[in-house]
Homo-oligomer: A and B are copies of this chain.
Amino acid sequence: MNNTFGRILTVTLFGESHGTLTGAVIDGMPAGIRIDRERIAEEMDRRRAQGMISTPRREADVCEIVSGVYNGYSQGTPLTILIRNTNAVHAEYDREHVIPRPSHGDYSSYVKYSGYSDRRGGGHLSGRLTAPLCAAGAICRMMLEEKGIFIGTHIRQLYDLVDREFADDVKSDIDTLNAMKFAVLDPEVSSEMLDRITQAKAENDSLGGILETCIYGLEAGLGEPWFDSMESLLAHAAFSIPGIKGIEFGNGFGLAGMKGSEANDSFALRNGKVITLTNRSGGINGGITNGMPVVFRTAVRPTPTIAQPQKSVDLTAMKECTLTVSGRHDPAFIHRARAVQDCMSAFVIADLLLQRYGTEYFQGERR
C-alpha cells in the first residue's frame, strides 16, 4: 500500500507537481463529522508559500471536495479532495538530459521508475502533494478537538537559532502556535529566523532546522507494544514528509547520555489522576501513551534544490557535469513542513482512537 496510510482511517495520496492536480482519498471517516471548509482553508494556508521566505511559485490551493461530503457533513464514504495545479511553469524543468539534483529524489526515483516518471518539479515526489495531506489532516484535527485533543508544532531550531521550549501550560502554547503562520514561540527568535531565511535566499542557499510537536489531551492506553508502538506510527508518518531525516521522542538522543536514575519519570497523583513528574519519555512508555503530552522533535534538512552550481552526473550521457538549477525554490521549508507534521500526527491519533472506540463513537447522531 505504497500510497495508502492508516488502518481503519486511511489516506491515499496521488498527483504530480506539474500534472493536472494533486489529491487524496480519505476512507474510514465516520459519517456525520461536520466538515468546516474554512478550517481546511486555514490549515492549507499554514503550509502555503509565504512572502520572501518561500518559493515564488504561488498556488491558490483551492481544495475541492468531490466525494464523501453531503450538506456539510461527512457521509461515511470515501472523502476525496482535489487541488488543481494552476501555477506550474513547465518550461523551467523540461530538459533533454537527465541530470539529477544532489540530495533530491531525482536520481533514486529515476532508477526506481526506469525513467518513466514525470520529472518536472519532482513529479510525484513533490512538496505539492503535502497540500492534500494538510486538507486531510485538517479534518482529523476537527475530529480530535471535539474529543479534547490538540496538536501544535513550533520551529524549535532554525540553523543556529533556537526557540524556547514548550511551557508547562502546553495547551496555551499550542493555541498560540495554531494562530501563527510562522510558528515560533519567542517573538524575538522568530524575527531573527525570518532574517536568516531571507539571507539564505539572497545567498542562493537553504537552511534546515528542527520541529517540535506536542499532542495534548491524549488518554493513556493508545498505541501498541511492538510493531504499532506510538513511536513507530508517529515516526512512520513523520518520515512520509519530504525532507525529514530524524525523529526523537521525549529527551530522545539525550537519553543516550543519561543513567536510568536520571532518565526515569516518577509517577505521582494530581487530583486523583496518575501523572509523571517529568516527561523525558515524551508521554509514551512501552509504545503506549501514559496520559502525559506526547512530545517529539523532527529534523528537517535544508532544501536540496539551491541555485548554486553543484556537481552531478548526466545520466543520459553518463558523464560527470555541473548542474545549475534555475527553478523556483524554498530557501527553507521547515515553516511549511510544520503544518504537514501537525496533520500527519492528527491522522495517526484519529486512526488509533477509531480502533479503540469504533466508528460509532465518532459518528453523528441518527437523523
Contact in complex: A107, B285 (CB < 8 Å): yes
Query: In the complex, are the beta carbons of B267 and A123 less than 8 A apart?
Result: no
Is A14 touching B67 in the complex (CB atoms < 8 A)? yes
Most buried by B among A23, A205, A207, A286: A286
Task: Tell me which of B31, B70, B114 contacts A365 (CB under 8 A).
Answer: B114
Selected contact of A257 from candidates B20, B208, B255, B306, CB within 8 Å: B208
Q: How many residues of A contact B (CB 8 A)?
A: 162
Point out the residues of chain B lying under 8 angstroms from A312, CB to CB: 266-267
Q: B109 near A286 (CB under 8 angstroms)?
A: yes
Give the residue name and chain of the B residue nearest to A211 (CB): B256
* Contact segment of A53-61, A170-178, A356-364: A356-364
Nearest CB in chain B to that of A280: its residue: B103
Q: Which of A39-47, A138-146, A183-191, A239-247 sits within the interface?
A: A239-247
Given contacts A277-B311, A360-B356, is CB(A206)–CB(B259) below 8 Å?
yes
**What's the number of copies of this chain in the assembled complex?**
4
B225 near A124: Cβ-Cβ < 8 Å? yes
- 8 A/B residue pairs, CB under 8 Å, sorted by A: A12-B78, A14-B80, A104-B286, A107-B285, A125-B225, A125-B286, A159-B257, A200-B259
CB–CB B124/A259 < 8 A:
no
Write the A49-72 contact mask toward B (1 if CB under 8 angstroms, else 0).
000000000000000101110100
Other than A2-B224, A77-B123, A125-B225, give 6 A-B pairs with Cβ distance below 8 A.
A3-B77, A4-B10, A15-B67, A246-B252, A248-B299, A357-B360
Instruction: Scan A308-322; emit 1 where CB is below 8 A from any B CB, else 0.
Output: 101111010011100
Instruction: Report the separation of the CA atoms of residues A129 and B274 in the bound assembly, to the nearest whole angstrom.
Output: 28
Q: What is the CB-to-nearest-CB distance from A201 to chain B, in angstroms, rounded to a whole number?
A: 11
Q: Contact check, A27 vs B12: say whether CB atoms are below 8 A apart.
A: yes
Kindly name the residue among A122, A238, A256 whose own CB sees the greatest number of chain B CB atoms within 10 A.
A256
Residue contact A113 to B361, C-beta cutoff 8 Å? no
Question: For residue A290, which residue of chain B has the nearest CB?
Answer: B108
Cβ contacts A208-233/B at 8 Å (1 or 0 each): 11100000000111111111110111
CB distance from A69 to the nearest CB of B (A): 9
Indicate whether A345 reaches chain B with its CB closer than 8 angstroms.
Answer: no
- Answer whether A66 and B21 are a contact pair too, CB < 8 Å, given A31-B114, A232-B235, A239-B235: yes
